[in-house]
């Protein structure tokens, strides 16, 4: 057994020996929400998989707010005994993880435990969820446990301005590259097979941004590029704690987009050979759900873009094609209400950044950070374009952009040497 | 008198002849060494250039930002070409010094000994200059992008100050390494650095009072406002 599992955990695993289902919860200072998440998962397991031997793993990043105690307390709650017939006990493992602080390192510990217990199906869910229901456990586990799928990506209804990195970069780019229409590739709550967990462990990525926010996109792309069977699970609305909105945007972009670009290097033969994308099956009936309102400060985003044009032009000149740069200079003087960042220009920007990353045109972290003002410009434009639009219309805009990414893929392939 | 004159002339010619006979091989040795230096330098240059091309040294320099910094400095040649050129001159100079040494002249020997003693210092200084130049560009670029992403108005000024700060520090280190006016460099650096800090303090304290107040107010008060106005969850 590798070093990164602590001795008490190894002993606990030897006691449990084998399990069928594992649910992992990465956490860091989530004492306020994790108790409910754990209770809901335990309920889901007893309701939907009463005969399975199940394990709940809390992989914690060194919380100081009593997160571990909240997990302990949740599983000792007598209100959990809501099933009438005897069921196998749900084992719990609470462990700190080794490695770079971040969600990815927490997942690595979960993968290792899954491999050790030879589980058939796993799921991971965020610890700050407020909208999780027992149904989530069924939707994420059953396609793997009984349906023969290897990877279950989540599908939520989100506010039109929620998940803007997903909508403007991650979803369309993943779809254009790997030809699978996975709407929430970095949703954070996934189901996967024990076989896939074992594959994840074999990859040497735990010293990179994959150990941080890059883990979600890495899991999805690896499953897609390695041709595992993928489906989506409709989970309703995703409501979670809002922490520091926009504060760590640059770091998030570096980790997510950097992981995506780095996977393009690894799987270049795969994505260069893919053609048109196809839909991914959805598990669970789609229904309308209420979503939380999101306020957006458009002016601040437009100003960030304008400052980028003013100060970062010499850096963008190294990264962007001259015609893309000319377009950016044309839109920069527009007033906030008239500000529009055309879709095709945005696609060129993303592809130019991917190419610059591939050709190592600049120090990689500088390169990825230089994308932030452009992303904010495109996000501001998206908000202005869809101010009066409903959910379906906004989804239509995102679909059109994804199609644009696919249509312009030859541009990327042609310049990739 | 005539005989005495003839004898003196003969002695002079004989002495010069003897000296020339002794010195001529030295000149020939020097010329041979210079020619060998030219040929060896050319061979080393060509070999090194080819090896660097084979190991893709130029894309590596682009990745490190060295090519861009050279272009900005007006040098439009590739890094592999420059390294080749430098190696040629290094080899040629070594052979030339050997040639000068072969002349067996006291002054020439002193010159070559001094030059050869100075060479390691010169190489160290050049390396320091190169590393400082790279560091200045890297740090300034990183600071500029970070400041722009944080939407600081003086992003460009911050980056420029960092670049020049590192360059001035590098120049002072290089001059100290070369042993050129050590005391003067230290004094000049201290004065310049102190001056910059004082200028910044004055500029911020007098000229930027409003900006300082605005920054502090935004930091202490507007963080809450920002949360209310911008609730985007990017992931």
The tens-digit pLDDT sequence of chain A (417 residues) is 456 788 888 888 888 889 999 999 998 888 889 999 999 999 999 999 999 999 999 998 888 888 888 888 887 765 554 444 445 678 888 888 887 788 889 999 999 999 999 999 999 999 988 889 999 999 999 999 999 999 999 999 888 888 899 999 999 999 999 999 999 999 989 999 999 999 999 998 888 888 888 999 999 999 999 999 999 999 998 887 765 445 578 888 999 999 999 999 999 999 999 989 999 999 988 877 777 778 888 999 999 999 999 999 999 999 999 999 999 999 999 999 999 999 999 999 999 999 999 988 888 999 999 999 999 999 999 999 999 888 889 999 999 999 999 999 999 999 998
Dihedral-angle region of residue A76 (phi above 0 means left; psi in -120 to 50 means alpha; beta otherwise): alpha
pLDDT (0 to 100) of residue A1? 46
Q: Is B223 on the interface with A (CB under 8 A)?
A: no
Residues from chain B that touch A307, judged by Cβ atoms under 8 A, are: 148, 151, 153, 155
Q: Choose, out of A159, A297, A353, the residue to mutate when testing the contact with B (most B CBs < 10 Å).
A: A297
Touching A: B residues 49-68, CB under 8 Å: 59, 62-65, 68
pLDDT digit string (tens) for B106-117?
A: 887 787 788 778
Q: How far is CA A187 from the centre of its chain?
A: 4
Residue B70 has, within 13 A of its CA and on its CB side, a CA count of 19
CB contact under 8 A, B144 and A315: yes
Query: Is B228–A294 a contact, with Cβ atoms under 8 angstroms apart?
Result: no
Query: Does B149 sit within 8 Å of A295, measured CB to CB?
Result: no
**B231 touching chain A per CB within 8 A:** yes
B160 → chain A, closest CA residue: A311
**DSSP label at A212?**
T
Contact A307 B229 (CB under 8 A): no
Nearest CB to A249 within list B227, B231, B234: B234
List CB contacts of A107: < 8 A, sequence separation 6 or more: A24, A26, A59, A124, A200, A215, A219
| Per-residue pLDDT at A171 | 97
- Give the sign of the dihedral formed by CA B109, CA B114, CA B117, CA B119: negative
**Cβ within 8 Å, pair A252-B142:** no
Taking the C-alpha atoms of residue B198 and residue B91, their distance in angstroms, rounded to an integer, is 48
Inter-chain touch A312–B144, beta carbons under 8 Å: yes
Residue ranges for chain B with pLDDT beneath 50: 227-228
ipTM: 0.86
CB atoms within 10 A of CB B49: 20
Burial bucket for residue B55 (CB in 10 Å: 0-12, 13-18, 19+):
exposed
Residues 132-151 of B with CB under 8 A from A: 138, 141-142, 144-149, 151
Task: Using an 8 Å CB-CB cutoff, list chain A residues near B229.
Answer: 295-297, 300
In degrees, rounded to 5, the angle at the alpha carbon of residue A160 between the alpha carbons of residues A154 and A161 is 100
In chain B, which residues have their Cβ closer than 8 Å to the Cβ of A372? Answer: 148-149
Backbone phi and psi for residue B232, each to the nearest 5 degrees, phi listed first: -60, 130
For residue B134, list chain A residues with Cβ-Cβ distance below 8 A. Answer: none
Q: Taking CB atoms and an 8 Å cut-off, how many pairs form between chains A and B?
A: 104
Cβ A363–B148 below 8 Å, yes or no?
Answer: no
Query: What is the sign of the dihedral through the CA atoms of A146, A149, A154 and A157?
Result: negative
Is A246 within 8 Å of B230 when comparing Cβ atoms? yes
Read off the pTM. 0.81
> Which pLDDT belongs to residue B121?
85
Nearest CA in chain A to B139: A366
Instruction: List A155's β-bridge partners, or say none.
Output: A234
Which residues, numbered 154 to 183 in chain B, qualify as contacts with chain A under a Cβ-Cβ cut-off of 8 Å? Answer: 155-156
Q: How far apart are the C-alpha atoms of A394 and A387, rounded to whole Å?
A: 9
Tell me which chain B residues have a C-beta less than 8 angstroms from the C-beta of A311.
144, 147-148, 155-156
Answer for the pair A274, A178: CB distance below 8 angstroms, yes or no. yes
Q: Say whether B229 and A300 touch across the interface (CB within 8 A).
A: yes
Chain A residues within 8 A of B147 when measuring between CB atoms? 311
């Amino acid at each position: 057994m590798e070093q990164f599992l602590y001795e008490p955990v190894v002993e606990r695993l030897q006691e449990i020996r084998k399990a069928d289902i594992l649910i992992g919860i990465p956490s860091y200072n989530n004492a306020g929400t994790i108790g409910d998440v754990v209770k809901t998962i335990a309920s889901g397991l007893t309701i939907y998989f009463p005969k399975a031997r199940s394990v709940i793993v809390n992989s914690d990043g060194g919380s100081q707010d009593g997160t571990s105690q909240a997990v302990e307390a949740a599983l000792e709650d007598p209100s959990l005994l809501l099933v009438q017939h005897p069921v196998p006990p749900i084992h719990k493992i609470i462990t700190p993880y080794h490695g770079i602080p971040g969600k990815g390192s927490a997942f690595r510990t979960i993968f290792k435990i899954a491999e050790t217990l030879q589980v058939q199906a796993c799921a991971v869910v965020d610890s700050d969820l407020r909208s999780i229901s027992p149904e989530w456990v069924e939707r994420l586990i059953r396609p793997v446990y009984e349906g023969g799928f290897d990877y279950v990506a989540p599908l939520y209804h989100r506010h039109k301005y929620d998940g803007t990195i997903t909508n403007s970069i991650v979803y369309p780019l993943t779809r254009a590259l790997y030809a699978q229409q996975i709407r929430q590739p970095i949703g954070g709550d996934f189901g996967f097979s024990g076989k896939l967990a074992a594959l994840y462990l074999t990859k040497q990525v735990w010293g990179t941004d994959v150990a941080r926010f890059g883990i979600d996109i890495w899991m999805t792309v690896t499953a897609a590029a390695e041709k595992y069977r993928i489906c989506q699970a409709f989970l309703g609305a995703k409501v979670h704690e809002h922490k520091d909105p926009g504060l760590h945007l640059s770091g998030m972009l570096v980790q997510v987009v950097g992981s995506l670009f780095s996977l393009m290097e690894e799987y270049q033969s795969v994505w260069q050979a893919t053609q048109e994308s196809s839909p991914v099956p959805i598990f669970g009936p789609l229904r309308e759900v209420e979503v939380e309102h999101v306020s957006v400060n458009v002016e601040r985003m437009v100003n960030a873009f304008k400052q980028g044009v003013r100060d970062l032009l010499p850096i963008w000149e190294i990264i962007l094609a001259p015609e893309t740069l000319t377009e950016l200079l044309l839109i920069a003087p527009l007033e906030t209400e008239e500000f529009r960042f055309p879709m095709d220009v945005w696609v060129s920007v993303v592809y130019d950044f991917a190419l610059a990353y591939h050709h190592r045109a600049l120090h990689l972290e500088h390169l990825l950070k230089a994308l932030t003002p452009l992303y904010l410009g495109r996000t501001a434009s998206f908000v202005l374009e869809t101010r009066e639009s409903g959910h379906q219309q906004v989804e239509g805009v995102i679909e059109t952009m994804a199609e644009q990414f696919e249509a312009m893929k030859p541009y990327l392939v042609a310049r990739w040497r | 008198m005539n005989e005495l004159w003839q004898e003196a002339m003969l002695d002079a010619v004989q002495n010069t002849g003897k000296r020339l006979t002794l010195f001529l091989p030295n000149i020939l040795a020097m010329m041979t060494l210079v020619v060998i230096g030219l040929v060896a330098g050319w061979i080393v240059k060509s070999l090194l250039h080819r090896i660097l091309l084979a190991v893709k040294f130029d894309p590596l320099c682009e990745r490190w930002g060295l090519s861009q910094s050279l272009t900005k400095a007006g040098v439009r040649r590739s890094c592999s070409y420059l390294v080749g050129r430098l190696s040629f001159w290094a080899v040629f100079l070594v052979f030339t010094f050997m040639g000068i040494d072969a002349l067996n002249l006291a002054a020439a020997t002193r010159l070559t000994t001094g030059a050869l003693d100075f060479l390691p210092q010169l190489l160290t200084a050049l390396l320091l200059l190169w590393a400082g130049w790279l560091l200045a560009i890297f740090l300034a670029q990183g600071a500029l992008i970070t400041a722009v992403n944080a939407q600081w108005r003086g992003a460009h000024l911050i980056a420029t100050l960092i670049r020049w700060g590192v360059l001035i520090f590098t120049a002072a280190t290089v001059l100290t390494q070369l042993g050129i006016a050590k005391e003067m460099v230290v004094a000049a650096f201290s004065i310049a650095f102190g001056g910059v800090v004082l200028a910044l303090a004055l500029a911020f304290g007098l000229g930027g009072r409003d900006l300082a107040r605005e920054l502090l107010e935004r930091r202490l008060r507007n963080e809450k406002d920002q949360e209310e106005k911008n609730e985007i969850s990017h992931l």
